[in-house]
Amino acid sequence: MSLLFLKFSNLVSGYGDTMVLRDVSGSVERGSVLGVLGRNGVGKTTLMKTLAGYIKPQGGTVTLNGRNVNALAPQDRLHAGMAYAPQENVVFGDLSVHENLWLHLDDKDESRYESCLKSFPRLVERMAQRSGLLSGGERKLLSFTRSMGLRSPLTILDEPTEGVQPENIHRMATLVRSQCATGAAFVIVEQNLEFLLSVADTVLVMDHGQVMLDSRVESTSREKLEEFLMV
């Protein structure tokens, strides 16, 4: 079995006539994390939406477990093994925390959420509360928990730590690495460099819709990565 689970090659993508991604390539292996880094507005979220199927690329390919998934809708990509937690609109605000966790699932296997709910007891306390009343950080934790509970071979997380308290960010990192140990792969967009370096095996740095650096984490330095984030 090949270790490579996701590969995207020469992606050209955007919105209407506006091209955001220009010849973007990268990959992630089973049991590892690809971190995507860059300043605001450089195309990171466009890349995530293209990988997840919400934007159809104008050029290039997305391959999941050796299969070209360019033509697959987001729900079909989920069935193929790709979960996606967007940066915005992360929960169903009119539904309770409990409903957000279980609405999309046929089974009631509570073990899927056990480790996350143990790490984030605040969600347990708010289980009957409407999720739209949660703080921004709590909504991020709910989205993260829902995604982790899917136990997908690949999970895409767009800015998962935004607004989250530091102690919970540390717990998120522990949970990600725990799933990696089972063979799961992750693509994580993140501005929190400390979090990203604590979970990522490889890092892809973007600027103006292009890849500026594609490197193993141990082959680069924090200082070099920080330079890319400077305005």
pLDDT band at 148 (very low <50, low <70, confident <90, very high): very high
- At 195, which CATH number? 3.40.50.300
How many structural domains comprise the chain? Answer: 1
For the CA atoms of 209, 215, 220, 226, what is the dihedral angle to 10 degrees?
Answer: 20
Range of the domain at 44: 4-89+146-229
- Cα–Cα distance for residue pair 121/168, rounded to 1 Å: 10
pLDDT in tens, 51-100: 999 999 999 999 999 999 999 999 999 999 999 999 887 788 999 999 99
In this structure, is residue 102 part of a structural domain?
no
In this structure, is residue 225 part of a structural domain?
yes
pLDDT, mean of residues 123-140: 94
In this structure, is residue 101 part of a structural domain?
no
pLDDT in tens, 87-104: 887 788 999 999 999 988
In this structure, is residue 16 part of a structural domain?
yes
The radius of gyration computed from the CA coordinates of the chain, to the nearest angstrom, equals 17
In this structure, is residue 103 part of a structural domain?
no
pLDDT in tens, 156-186: 999 999 999 999 999 999 999 999 999 999 9
In this structure, is residue 24 part of a structural domain?
yes
Q: What pLDDT sits at residue 2?
A: 65
CA-wise closest residue to 187 among 201, 174, 175, 198: 201
In this structure, is residue 100 part of a structural domain?
no
In this structure, is residue 122 part of a structural domain?
no
The 10 Å CB-count burial string (b at 16+, else e) for 146-185 is: bbbbbebbbbbbbbbbbebeeebbbbbbebbeebbeeebb
Q: Residue 37 above 90 pLDDT? A: yes
